[in-house]
Chains A and B, each alone.
Chain A
């Protein structure tokens, strides 16, 4: 069984868990993801690998409590077990030949951006990290990013942490100041990634965006995670999750992400009510 070895709240809506899953830990690389189920009746949800430790056989996931399943997941504690935990799925982040990279993360997406920054840093790549949050209460992994980056810029929507503004403002400033990146890697809300990609396109900087669409099996079987990249249909689970950000149809991806919003809202409310009853 997949035991929860450690649970830590990173901010009021984001939780870190370290899960015992030696087979996954043995193979996991930054950029890949896992699929889990909390219980035998649960849905399958994909979460990106935030960290792994091959020796202790553990995989770290970081999730935002947004729906019924993440709500249920957040109610599990150290010592509890997950029903299912499968992976690592998808392709790992490509790091070959990179010398200087800007990693741009937004919100809980920073949890996925961090292991990429860390891996690049370990490979001797010069990493500049630009991370954005709505306000200071939501900031996660600040120290970790600092340790993995030669330059670190923190942005917040309301100015309560770091500078006030969007990650695109900060990235633009860096580029304008003469920083030459051979790649930008962006992970965060679709709308943020869309604007990051629009910006880097102007400067012709190759950009990779990590997609996290709705999926079921994660092995190429259902096609639920499909998206359009350069006019072609791709499956995020096997062809991605990282794609050329300048070719992704973000508007379509945003529409697809909203496909079950009414269902999800109701399921989340039901789950919250259930836990209210328990507590």
Chain B
């Protein structure tokens, strides 16, 4: 009998006033009993609407059916047929707009907690004694992956399983891309990211850190001199945007990228870290996406009073509802319909405050969201000693500028077809480098698609 409760099983979390002072994971995951109970809420629909909402088409009802019977190992096998990073996606996917939004149980009541179940299965697998992975038989073909973020790792994993000799090139000293430098420990523990990467290495994938493709070596050199037959570009969207307002280069103003990189990659939050960070006593975060929530919650944990300013209203916040809710619970203040126009300075060149203009909503703009317009003369200043700009990122121009024949959009995104093929023979691309800043799972999906296309390209060469 299915469990007909309209409510999903709550996942245990650290209490807000405890967790806003530490960097440990906020959500603690289901117990086996909770997972089985939640899995029993699934009606095992024949037409699998949930799977159609999944960018990598995981056979969701099938894995949930195995969880319901306590066959966690089998459930893991089903998930990993489609997803390379289940422990990651179970944590950071926007399930509420994907699989869970299609769940029939959500019509009347709450949808099955698919994300929490995925996370449970992956964590269960990771807690089991290591099994030796058999390396696939080599097919003798060399492929290169540029960037070790979600799209690159997914692409690398699929190609390695097919027997390719895969090398992943990473500019930073640690692999993982945004999973390592961007998403904070309390949302995605770095040990999980490293575990996923170790899993790929066990399949034979080589990871070369400290290699900036475009500087240390070019794509043409990889293909012509190093013998890589095909290349996947998954270099992400790492270039931070600023507002170009007065005072943005004052001391105490960070891009969210810099702020989060100092914390996540360089561990600046730890006592004795050799990398400094200044979250100040009053931090203002500009922006309303997931990255803004991450930056705000990090600043809070470093002891600052935190205000998020966003130019639209709560309803238009692009961040996941859960992230907004967590931020609010942790004591972060939101100022909506608020747009910074200037950052003011102390006489020593440090941030003193943020002058903001009150906004109101008008007609929908090109994005389909109501357009914020300034209200004349309605200015006010928020006191601050730290400002974090979190208004988006663009693809890094480094590869474009050093790769002849690689076409890009005006805004910098690499032009690629549905299978990831770029304007350059044998060169594929996917993830944020193509789409602009999006989600982990979409990047993963693009990496997998490209892997299939690269395989076909090489086999038919």
Contact = CB atoms under 8 A, between A and B. Distances in A.
A63 interface: no
A278 interface: no
Interface string A233-266: 1000010000000000000100110111001100
Contacts of B275: 43-44, 216
Contacts of A175: none
Interface stretch (B74-82, B100-108, B251-259): B251-259
Contact of A42 (B244, B262, B274, B276): B274
Nearest to B401: A238
Given A219-B396, A260-B278, 18 more contacts: A44-B266, A87-B215, A89-B215, A216-B265, A217-B171, A219-B212, A219-B215, A219-B238, A219-B398, A220-B397, A223-B254, A226-B242, A252-B249, A255-B250, A255-B349, A260-B276, A267-B274, A267-B276
B240 interface: yes
Closest 10 CB pairs of A and B: A255-B349, A222-B258, A263-B276, A86-B210, A223-B255, A221-B238, A43-B274, A260-B276, A84-B173, A43-B275
A256 B212 contact: no
Contacts of B22: none
A223 B215 contact: no
A238 B181 CA distance: 19
Given A23-B217, A255-B349, A259-B251, A223 B398 contact: no
B419 interface: no
Contacts of A263: 276
A64 interface: no
Contacts of B254: 223-224
A128 interface: no
Contacts of B274: 41-43, 68-69, 267
B204 to A, nearest CB: 22
Interface residues of B, number: 40
A213 to B, nearest CB: 11
A255 B348 contact: yes
A227 B249 CA distance: 7
Nearest to B212: A219
B216 A221 contact: no
B209 interface: yes
Interface of A: 23-24, 27, 37, 41-44, 68-69, 83-89, 216-224, 226-228, 233, 238, 252, 255-256, 258-260, 263-264, 267
B256 to A, nearest CB: 10
B438 interface: no
A218 B217 CA distance: 15
Contact of A24 (B173, B216, B262, B265): B216
Interface of B: 171-173, 181, 209-212, 215-217, 238-240, 242, 244, 248-252, 254-255, 257-258, 261-262, 265-267, 273-276, 278, 348-349, 396-398
A222 B267 CA distance: 15
A216 B249 contact: no
Contacts of A256: 249, 251, 349
Contacts of A264: 276
B398 A87 contact: no
Contacts of A228: 249
Nearest to A40: B173
B349 A252 contact: yes
B273 to A, nearest CB: 8
A279 to B, nearest CB: 20
Nearest to A262: B276
With most chain A CB atoms within 10 A of its CB, the pick from B215, B249, B278 is B215
A86 B169 CA distance: 12
19 contacts: A37-B173, A86-B171, A87-B215, A89-B212, A216-B258, A219-B171, A220-B238, A220-B398, A221-B240, A221-B396, A223-B254, A224-B258, A226-B249, A233-B248, A233-B249, A238-B398, A255-B250, A256-B349, A258-B349
Contacts of A44: 173, 266, 275
A169 to B, nearest CB: 29
B181 to A, nearest CB: 8
A218 B249 CA distance: 18
A42 B397 CA distance: 28
Nearest to A255: B349
A224 B256 CA distance: 10
Contact of A222 (B209, B210, B211, B257): B257
Contacts of B210: 84-86
